[in-house]
């Protein structure tokens, strides 16, 4: 018999919805409770009172500098994670047949685990996964297969579309630590089976654990699951000073930083241009102003450069976030115009769009704002969506669990004058406070004889604060 098949499907929260599909109506404001907050572990907990399903989600971040302290370490960690994922498919086969799932991934912060399924069996699944981290078998053939697969991915990265290469180059210029595909490939080429087995044995000597349990679970159940995981790991608490941190470079104000590259493939006929304007951290109303401005500009940008000027099939304007730093990107992939010519068209559009902003009436701004406010609060349609949104707040250490509703209230209060002032400060041509990074990826047939690669320098934004550190 399959020990993971649940026998208790009862709903723990009183008054929870049990209608088919559950969760009808508008999303409710929810805020997880903080059950544990020590030097070694932080546990967030939310018992479902809306969806009425006998299921739960557990997310666990095992933060450590061990897995990203060098390009070689990052490459070995990726290889370990690929082997672990393969092993979990085998050891959790019976659990998967019973409707449970488990996953693992690595990144610059460390190792992340995710568990989901019928809540009654989730603690058993967690124990199985925790035990597997240092004990799963690694066959030489599996090692070679996974290493070859990862190497193919890394070596093929420079064959991706020019727009993808432009975004990769932008992030590489702004973030530290961040390793190039070439550095990671070199690390993989030198990686050996004994090295990966050594990493498995020495895995997580010090760790900071952060977890979210969400769904049909009780407080005691959630606490027991995480404490068992801690006991299985046997790791020492990671000192605050050794927590992984990724920093974002500040682009120089009033200047254009330019970096140019050539696509690796001779068959590539397209070039890509990205013009990125750095706005900064999550301060005051900047985030909602950026969202409103990007939505106003997006259709106009596409209409002008794609429909009218027919520069290419990929024409995008979007707001983004890089490790807590906001920005606005204009991206064009074209085979009819070189990047420097495309950038001139983007600047011309920006000059034209300022006039559009001046002609906007207050009522029109409020109409757009109301639409965005509705988008902000259109969240948590399913239990998995709610769990994912709450966990994203934890991974950012922001813990602003009511952010959709606060953002909706903020955007409704924005005025036309605020929007114009924001545009003039961060986007307008000639602004002394505009911070710009232009990335050009040329088709080989369009490449200039000399390429320019300017580096932003080593002035960094403050790392995002851990807002619960002193709680």
Cβ proximity of 77 and 199 under 8 Å: yes
Query: Quick one: which of 384, 32, 314 has its CA closest to 161?
Result: 314
Residue 190, classed as helix, strand or coil, is helix
Q: What is the pLDDT along the chain (471 residues), one digit of tens a residue?
A: 899 999 999 999 876 655 444 555 567 899 999 999 998 899 999 999 999 999 999 999 999 999 999 999 999 999 999 999 999 999 999 999 999 999 999 999 999 999 999 999 999 999 999 999 999 999 999 999 999 999 999 999 999 999 999 999 999 999 999 999 999 999 999 999 999 999 999 999 999 999 999 999 999 999 999 998 999 899 999 999 999 999 999 999 999 999 999 999 999 999 999 999 999 998 889 999 999 999 999 999 999 999 999 999 999 999 999 999 999 999 999 999 999 999 999 999 999 999 999 999 999 999 999 999 999 999 999 999 999 999 999 999 999 999 999 999 999 999 999 999 999 999 999 999 999 999 999 999 999 999 999 999 999 999 888 878 754
What local confidence, expressed as pLDDT, does residue 467 receive? 78
pLDDT number for residue 15: 65
Say what the pLDDT of residue 14 is: 76
| pLDDT of res. 20 | 41
Q: What is the pLDDT of residue 21?
A: 47
The whole-model pTM stands at: 0.94
Q: How far apart are CA 52 and CA 330, in angstroms?
A: 43
Q: In this structure, what token pair is assigned to residue 461? A: 């934004």
Specify whether the CB–CB gap between 441 and 275 falls below 8 A: no
> What 3-state class would DSSP assign to 213?
strand
pLDDT of residue 19: 47
**42 token code pair:** 């932080």
Q: Which of 246, 184, 172 is nearest to 456 (CA)?
A: 172
Three-state DSSP at 310 gives coil
> How many residues in the chain?
471
Give the DSSP letter string of 82-146: HHHHHHHHHHTHHHHHTT-EEEEEEETTEEEEEEEEEGGGHHHHHHHHHHHTTT----HHHHHHH
Helices 140-155 and 71-91, packing angle to 10 deg: 120
């Amino acid at each position: 018999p399959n020990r993971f098949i649940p026998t208790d499907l009862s709903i723990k929260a009183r008054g929870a919805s049990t209608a088919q599909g559950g969760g009808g109506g508008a999303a409710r404001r929810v805020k997880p409770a903080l059950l544990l907050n020590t030097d070694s572990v932080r546990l967030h907990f939310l018992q479902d009172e809306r969806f009425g399903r006998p299921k739960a989600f557990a997310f666990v971040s095992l933060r450590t500098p061990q897995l990203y302290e060098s390009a070689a370490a990052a490459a070995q960690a990726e290889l370990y994670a690929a082997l672990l994922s393969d092993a979990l498919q085998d050891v959790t086969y019976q659990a998967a047949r019973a409707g449970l799932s488990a996953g693992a991934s690595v990144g610059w912060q460390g190792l992340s685990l995710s568990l989901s399924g019928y809540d009654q069996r989730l603690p058993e699944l967690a124990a199985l996964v925790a035990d597997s981290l240092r004990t799963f078998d690694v066959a030489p053939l599996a090692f070679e297969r996974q290493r070859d697969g990862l190497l193919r991915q890394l070596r093929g990265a420079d064959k991706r579309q020019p727009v993808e290469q432009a975004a990769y180059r932008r992030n590489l210029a702004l973030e530290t630590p961040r390793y190039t595909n070439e550095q990671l490939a070199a690390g993989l080429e030198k990686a050996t089976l004994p090295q990966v087995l050594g990493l498995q044995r020495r895995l997580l000597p010090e760790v900071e654990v952060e977890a979210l349990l969400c769904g049909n679970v009780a407080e005691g159940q959630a606490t027991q699951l995480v404490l068992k995981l801690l006991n299985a790991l046997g790791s020492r608490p990671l000192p605050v000073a050794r927590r992984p941190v990724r920093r974002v470079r500040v682009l120089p104000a009033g200047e254009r930083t330019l970096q140019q590259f050539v696509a690796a493939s001779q068959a590539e006929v397209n070039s890509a241009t990205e013009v990125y304007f750095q706005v900064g951290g999550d301060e005051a109303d900047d985030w909602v102003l950026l969202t409103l401005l990007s939505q106003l500009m997006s259709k106009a940008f596409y209409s002008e450069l794609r429909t009218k000027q027919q520069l290419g099939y990929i024409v995008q304007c979007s707001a983004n976030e890089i490790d807590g730093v906001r920005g606005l990107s204009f991206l064009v992939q074209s085979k009819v115009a070189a990047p420097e010519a495309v950038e001139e068209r983007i600047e011309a559009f920006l000059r034209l769009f300022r006039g559009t902003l001046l002609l906007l009436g207050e009522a029109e701004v409020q109409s757009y704002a109301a639409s965005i406010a509705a988008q902000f609060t259109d969240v948590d349609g399913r239990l998995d969506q709610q769990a994912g949104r709450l966990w994203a707040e934890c991974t950012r250490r922001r813990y602003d669990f009511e952010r959709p509703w606060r953002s909706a209230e903020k955007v409704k209060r924005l005025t036309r004058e605020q929007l114009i002032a924001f545009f003039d400060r961060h986007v307008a041509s000639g602004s002394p406070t505009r911070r710009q990074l232009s990335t050009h990826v040329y088709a080989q047939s369009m490449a200039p004889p000399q390429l320019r690669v300017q580096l932003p320098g080593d002035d960094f934004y403050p790392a995002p604060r851990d807002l619960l550190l002193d709680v």
